Each structure stands twice: as C-alpha cells, then as structure tokens.
Chains A and B, each alone.
Chain A
C-alpha cells in the first residue's frame, strides 16, 4: 500500500490552495493513505484546514519556534525524519516546494520527480520537460522512495468535507542555525492571488511603463482578476517579480487568461497551458500567442482595453 506524506505550504496562518491541489494528486495514487504534515510555530489553524480536505486521513503537526519561517535547511531534516516511514513524499511545485523537497530527497537518498502533472500508477507519473515541449512518463523502481513536487495547476482543489484526525508529533532532527530569515518584501495587494485566481489579466512588454500597467490593473479590477506579466515586463521593472507567469515564473490554470501585449514565447505559454479560456490582445496578427488563444483580437491595447471596459460596463 502507498502511504503519502504531503508537506503543507502555508504563510503562518492559512493553508495554501496549492496544498489542497496536491491532495487531489496524491488521492489519484491507487490505494493511497494520505497524511499532511504542518510544520509551523503555531500550526493549529492550518492543521484544521488541512484536516477538512477530502481524501486526507491524518494530519501531523510539528510545533517549533524555528518553523515560523519557511527555511529549507531548517525544515528539510524534520520532514526527512518523518518521511522515512512513508512510501511517497509530496509538496506543491511552488518556490516553497521547489526549495525544500530536493533537500529532503537528498537526505533520504532518493531521486526526485519535479512538476508531476499526472499519476499513471503507484510508481508511474508524467511530467513536462523542455518548458513543456515534451512530456515524459517516468517509472520509479520498487524500493526507491517516491519524492515529488506537484504541478498544482494540473489538479483541482480537494473539496472540503473531510474530518481527519490531528496528531501533534515531535522530531529529533537538529535544527541548523547557519541560515537565517531576514524578511520578505511583497507587493501585497487586495487583489486575488495570481497562483489561485479564477481569472488573470497579464501584461507584456507592450505596456511600455509601470505607469501604463494601470490599464491592466483597471481591467483586472473590473473582472475581479489577478494581475500577471511576462518576463519582459518584469525585467523592465513595470511590475514586481512575483507576477511573472511562465517556465521560470508561475504556472497557473485560471478559468480565464487575458494576455495583453504579450507575444506568446514558449517560456510564457508553459505557464498558461492549463488555462480554460485564453484571450489574446495583440497588434500583430502574426503573434504566436494567437496560435493558442481561444479568442483573439488584433488591435492596439491602448484603444482596445478602454473599449473592453466600456463593453463590460454595458455602455
């Protein structure tokens, strides 16, 4: 039987939706018993959220002051200690999961499968390589622990309605002091979170300035959407790095993705492959973005965006 340990991702208060998606992935493993571990300084509220996810059998909490920050060097030895008794270990393929899981895998002497996108069996999985230009099916031999990061955008959020038991546990692993948290700076906003939003409006290099991005924010607000961007827009300093969508940014799967002034480079498209409906607005009819768009409009964004807003307002 497969026993899966999922490492909860959280911000100290709330469980990340990416973890709820990871639960759905784990539940696809035939006959899997799914456990979530919450490592935190105050894990109780997060553990409650985890316990309420359908498909979760057990929630473990590890309460320690150093767990207040998500430092891989601090968390990995604790996760590896708990993970020794499981056949599978998983976390979402976010910057948190990408940082910590390979460290865990190495401590357990196991290889890792990154960005797992489909479960084909207890030990058989699919994942993208070459920025999503090829998909490989991978088999993990018997006797080798399965350690994976899960491409959250490929799985739905596990429904609430579960009632798993919550069990506090202690670990013996020594916590290193060689890595220290200083702070995190985020352009925190009241807008929906890019990673989990149902609608996303993204702007590219064509916006030309940070100031002009107001057109993107305005449409996003009208649609109740999160804001994203291409790498070119981030590199040019129009918007902060956490808005980058793509191979090396965020991989997202919204119901609606609106790409404005984005050419559609393969590295960008990797991030939006799983979007339900893609809308592209670009003044170049030959732009590659139109090859993947469900609805395309050729035009200058500076005239088209205000018109869309007026059409939405019914004027």
Chain B
C-alpha cells in the first residue's frame, strides 16, 4: 500500500484578528473560529491529487492535540482523506515533539510521502517538516510550489528567496507546502455525511513514548509595537515634498 501521510493542525482561522490577553498570559482564543492551518489544507489537497494521479493508494490525515482536533480531522476526511489519526495530547506540542510523534506514526504506517505545511499560522515556526526529515534520515523538500512524482523519486519546485529552485529527492521524503502549490477543493455536503463513517483512530501520545513536556518557556505575550497613522497628502507634488522634508529623498 502506497501511503501519503499529511499533517492537519487546528489553528485560529486566518481571518480572525488576534488579540493578546491583558494579563499577558496568551492570546484570546475563547469563541474564536478555528480552522485547518491553510498550509496543511494545501498539503491535504496535494496528497489527494497524488492519489488521484495514481501515485498513492491511501491518504492518512494526522492531527495532534485535544479532542477538539477531531473537528479538523472530520473536515480532512470530508475533503477526501481515507483515514484519520488523532494523537491525543492535553496541550499543544512543540515542533520537535510533533516531529517525534510523526516519526513514531511513520514506523507504523510506512508512508512513502509525508506532507506538512511550511508553517502553521499560529506560531509561525516553520520547523516540523525539516525536523521530521532529520529524525527520519530522509530527504526534505520544503516550501514546495510543484511536486512531480516519478516512481521512486520526486522532482520538487521550491519557492526560495532567489526564485524557484528545483531539486530531486528519493522517496520516501517529507514535503512542506507553499501557498502556490494548489488551490484546495471545496467540501461538498454529501462528503461531510460520508466523512462521519470514515475511520478516525485515537492514539495517546504517551503510548507512542514521546515526552511532550514543554522545553521552551514562554515568559509573556505582548501586543506588537503599533505604527501610528501619519499624514495624508493631497497630491503627488506634496508627497514628494514630504519625502524631501523628512530627508528620505534628497
């Protein structure tokens, strides 16, 4: 069975305006809309396309966290994942811990491809895929904007600061997705009904032997320094005059 494993992280929806709690202990999450991390949604879409093109037989969606993540896993199943696995933890885990959890699942599931988002839009870490590839001692192709599977190898186009980089990797490998890899499909109502019958297994993180106690200590949360609204000018001439007056232009 050729399997693709995808990570699905539950995060605050990207449209929500984040506010820091007045006491600095975190950000306000009560009653806030939660969604699949957009990069993971792209990862799942890519996995489905890889399967539809005949390069895989099964897509497994994996989420780590409390039972709340089952909501995102059901969405993933409705999008088309064949199975879902929740690795249950009380709190959010750090990227290295997430990578260790994935490594344990890989040992069980033997996927030929693992796809994660290039970053999660909550902590913006951009680490888990690379860490997993290191622990697994397999290739990584991060920030992918195109993935072509050719039997036992994949050619991946990566969005890098210099432009578009192409690399070839032997499978199995870890890919992380960039925004332009694809546009995720919409979930149709009948699929949501069907998804309720698809298997969703729950595994305790402890049963995988991964220690999830926090290593990095978050001391406090603060709102960012605010930029203040400046002046409005009426036309181009005044704009240029302003720039000169401020010494920005000679």
Return A148 CB to nearest CB of chain B, in Å. Answer: 11
Are A186 and B122 also in contact (CB < 8 A) when A76-B134, A111-B94 are?
Answer: no
**Do the beta carbons of A71 and B167 come within 8 Å of each other?**
yes
For chain A, what secondary structure do more than half of its interface residues adopt (helix, strand, loop), or is it mixed? mixed
**Does A212 interact with chain B (Cβ within 8 Å)?**
no
Nearest CB in chain B to that of A250: its residue = B161
Cβ 8 A contact of B239, one of A186, A266, A297: A297
Interface residues of A in 70-121 (CB under 8 A from B): 71-73, 76, 94-96, 98-107, 109-115
B168 touches A105 (CB 8 A): no
Q: Are B180 and A235 in contact (CB under 8 A)?
A: yes
Give the docked Cα–Cα distance between A113 and B168 (Å). Answer: 29
Contact present for A112 and B140 (CB under 8 Å) = no
Q: Identify which of residues 162-191 in chain A touch chain B, using a CB-to-CB cut-off of 8 Å.
A: 176, 178-188
Nearest A residue to B134 via CB reads A106
Q: What total of chain B residues lie within 8 Å of the partner, measured CB to CB?
A: 81
Q: Please, how many angstroms separate the alpha-carbon atoms of A109 and B95 in the complex?
A: 12
Total contacting residues, chain A, CB less than 8 A? 89
**Does B209 belong to the interface (CB within 8 Å)?**
no
- Fill in one digit per residue for B12-26: 1 if any A CB lies within 8 Å of its CB, else 0: 101001111000000
* Total number of residue pairs linking A and B with CB closer than 8 Å: 257
Among B162, B173, B215, B217, contact of A242 (Cβ-Cβ < 8 Å):
B162
* Measured CA separation A292–B230 after assembly (Å): 7
A114 pairs with B125, CB closer than 8 A:
yes
Q: Identify which of A33-41, A46-54, A201-209, A306-314 touches chain B.
A: A306-314
Knowing A72-B130, A295-B233, A311-B240 touch, does A134 contact B223 (C-beta < 8 A)?
yes
How many angstroms between the C-alpha atoms of A133 and B12 in the bound complex? 12
The verdict on A45 contacting chain B, using a C-beta distance below 8 Å, is no
Contacts of B229 in A (CB 8 A): 290-293
Produce 1/0 per residue, B86-109, CB < 8 A to A: 000000001110010000000000
Cβ-defined partner of A297 (8 Å) among B119, B140, B158, B235 = B235
Q: Is A215 an interface residue (CB 8 A)?
A: no
Give B193 Cβ to nearest chain A Cβ, in Å.
33
CA distance A240 to B161 in the complex (A): 11
- Looking at the complex, which one of B17, B224, B233, B239 makes contact with A135 (CB distance below 8 Å)? B224
Looking at the complex, which one of A103, A182, A267, A311 makes contact with B133 (CB distance below 8 Å)?
A: A103
B216 at the interface (CB under 8 A from A): yes
**Distance, CA A296 to CA B239, complexed state (A):** 8
B227 touches A278 (CB 8 A): yes
Instruction: Say whether, besides A130-B121, A131-B121, A235-B179, A137 and B220 are in contact (CB < 8 Å).
Output: yes
Given A235-B180, A304-B236, A312-B240, A114–B127 Cβ distance below 8 Å?
A: yes
Distance of A73 Cα from B137 Cα, bound (Å): 9
A210 within 8 A of B: no
Seed contacts A109-B96, A180-B167, A180-B169; 4 additional CB < 8 Å A-B pairs: A105-B96, A137-B218, A138-B218, A296-B230
Nearest first, the 6 A-B pairs at minimum CB distance are A186-B163, A307-B236, A294-B230, A102-B130, A106-B134, A106-B131
Binding site for A on B (CB under 8 A): 12, 14, 17-20, 27, 94-96, 99, 118-119, 121-135, 137-143, 145, 155, 158-170, 173, 178-180, 215-224, 227, 229-237, 239-240, 242-243, 246, 248-249
Can you report 27 A-B residue pairs in the complex whose CB atoms are below 8 A from each other? A73-B140, A99-B160, A102-B134, A103-B131, A107-B134, A110-B96, A131-B121, A134-B18, A134-B221, A135-B224, A136-B219, A139-B217, A176-B139, A179-B139, A182-B168, A235-B179, A242-B159, A242-B162, A255-B248, A276-B248, A292-B227, A295-B230, A295-B243, A308-B239, A311-B236, A311-B239, A311-B240
